[in-house]
Amino acid sequence: MHLQLPQITEYHGIRVLTSSQIAEMYGTDAKTISYNFSYNKKKYVEGKHYIKLEGHELRAFKASPEFPDCHKYSAHLYLWTEKGALLHAKSLNTDKAWEVYDYLVDYYF
């Protein structure tokens, strides 16, 4: 499999992915990622699977040069850790999601 790795994004030294990055890699859209998160929210643990940025933290993150412009008007932003990305692959449960997750583990995280 030949994939282009997403732009590397780190938050406090933790490599993360935005919902849009996960959606693009897994061949879906951010709305589906958001739905899967909402539907399975009790299975996700903040700080372990995701980091929710709001207020000052979000403004500071948006000001960083690595921030993807597509989220500049968001009131909050979810950053997904490696374990959170795995849960999304599991909930999508497509062959592509599992292939991409394996690739991300080997080359991104």
pLDDT digits (tens, 9 = 90+) for 47-61: 999 999 999 999 888
Above 90 in pLDDT, residue 1? no
Q: d(Cα 4, Cα 59) in Å, to the nearest integer?
A: 28
CA–CA dist 20, 38 (Å, integer) = 16
pTM above 0.95, yes or no: no
Q: How many degrees, rounded to 5, is the angle at CA 54 between CA 44 and CA 100?
A: 45
- Nearest CA-CA partner of 22 in 103, 67, 89, 95: 89
59-103 pLDDT tens trace: 888 887 766 555 667 788 999 999 999 899 988 888 888 888 888
| Band (2; pLDDT cuts 50, 70, 90) | low
Residue 91 CB contacts under 8 Å (≥ 6 apart), including other chains: 36, 39, 40
Question: In this structure, how many other beta carbons lie within 10 angstroms of the beta carbon of residue 84?
Answer: 23
Contact 53, 61 (CB under 8 A): yes
